[in-house]
Amino acid sequence: MKTKAAVLYRPNTPMVVETLDLQDPHEGEVLVKVAAAGVCHSDYHVMKGEWTTPLPVVLGHEGAGIVERVGPGVKNVKAGDHVVLNFRPNCGWCPHCVRGQPVLCAGSSTPRNEMFSGGSRLSRGGETVHHFARTSCFSQYTVVQESGAVPVRHDMPLDKAALIGCSVMTGVGAVINTAKVQAGSSVVVLGCGGVGLNCIQGAVLAGAGQIVAVDIKQNKLDYAREFGATDLINASNQNPVQAVLEITGGGADYAFEALGRAETIRQTYDSIRPGGMAVVVGMAPENDEVSINALSLPRNEKILMGSYYGSARPWIDLPRLVDLYMAGRLRVDELITRSYPLEEINDAYEALARGDGARSIIAFE
């Protein structure tokens, strides 16, 4: 079949919206008609050449849609299901999956630009077009693994469901699954974009006492306040670490970095109290390094850890987040500041680069 998709041919060039060939789903795969896809920063790393993945590629890893049909052997998803796309489909049987850490799944020997059984389902004029994160939802239709299409209730609006699939899961999950923030504790969030705002509302859900938001843009701090931040620090006109230490009386219990930058990772580590936990959620360029004072680790018993995709167990957590949204306990509408048609996807990424709004989405007819 044919699908209209946004194709990246070279870093630092605009994506080209064109018609591609899409194979039918193979064994264990699912064809999804995409309803909406989020404009997330991770795809932007590939556009800027900061992450390497084979090109040409159809990006997009935050999406939702409706199952069109399923390949042989698919048991848990059927045509007509409304699904949130899970960009870490997993095998179910490797040690990481069995341990309950499916985002670390090592059960497939193929790279993440290919399906589990190998190869791409996308092509143009006989030339391979690669997948991204086995999701590639900047396309009207996409083929994903069965475990990459998580059914959710039909009354969930699909544009909001798309954001559940990356930014909401990543931010809320970092707080609830990875750090397991305790009620009453103090939390700092550095970077108040799509993921950072979700760290803030994760902290609200966890019952955190003090929630300190740090950003250099006043519009993002205003969003942070709406999402439940109790204190705001504009890092463009003050040292954020000193400000956090003052506000929290010696350092926060937990701090979350939602930017993926060496400097702010260091600031996150410096913002926690002795025995506190610093969690890196933001995704940095591939070759960046971060340095911290070595002696501070044992002497202050600080915990520095990473959180990937909110330590999600997607088949449990994505439907759960949908339920929280439907119960009015999770803000997603407020995250979506603009919607673009696929043809204007390059404009959407220019707006992201400028730091406009919280999150925009690509809406498909």
82 labelled catalytic: no
Question: What whole-number distance in Å separates Cα of residue 32 and Cα of residue 77?
Answer: 11
User: In which residue are the tokens 């702010």 written?
Assistant: 264
Compute CA 129 distance to the chain's CA centroid, rounded to the nearest angstrom. 23
302 phi and psi angles, rounded to 5 deg: -80, 145
166 labelled catalytic: yes
42 labelled catalytic: yes
Question: Least Å distance between CB 147 and Zn ion?
Answer: 9
β-pairing, 231-234 vs 210-215, is parallel
6 phi and psi angles, rounded to 5 deg: -95, 120
Q: Does 90 bind Zn ion (CB under 5 A)?
A: yes
- Residue closer to Zn ion (CB basis): 120 or 198: 198
Give the active site residue among 42, 139, 186, 307.
Answer: 42
Q: Does 107 bind Zn ion (CB under 5 A)?
A: yes
Helices (H), the chain: 41-47, 95-99, 158-163, 169-173, 194-206, 218-227, 240-248, 262-270, 296-300, 314-326, 345-354
Site string for Zn ion, 36-65 (x = CB under 5 A): ----x-x-------------------x---
Q: Does 281 bind Zn ion (CB under 5 A)?
A: no
199 labelled catalytic: no
Applying CB under 5 A, the site for Zn ion has a residue count of 10
Question: Least Å distance between CB 276 and Zn ion?
Answer: 26
Q: Does 303 bind Zn ion (CB under 5 A)?
A: no
Site residues (CB under 5 A) for Zn ion, limited to 137-176: 166
Tell which residue, 362, 365, 364, has the closest CA to residue 344.
362
Question: What whole-number distance in Å separates Cα of residue 311 and Cα of residue 23?
Answer: 32
Q: Does 104 bind Zn ion (CB under 5 A)?
A: no
- Using CB under 5 A, pick the residue from 15, 59, 105, 232 that binds Zn ion: 105
Question: Least Å distance between CB 278 and Zn ion?
Answer: 21
List beta partners, residue 188: 212, 255
Active site amino acids: 40, 42, 45, 61, 166
Residues that bind Zn ion (CB under 5 A): 40, 42, 62, 90-91, 94, 97, 105, 107, 166
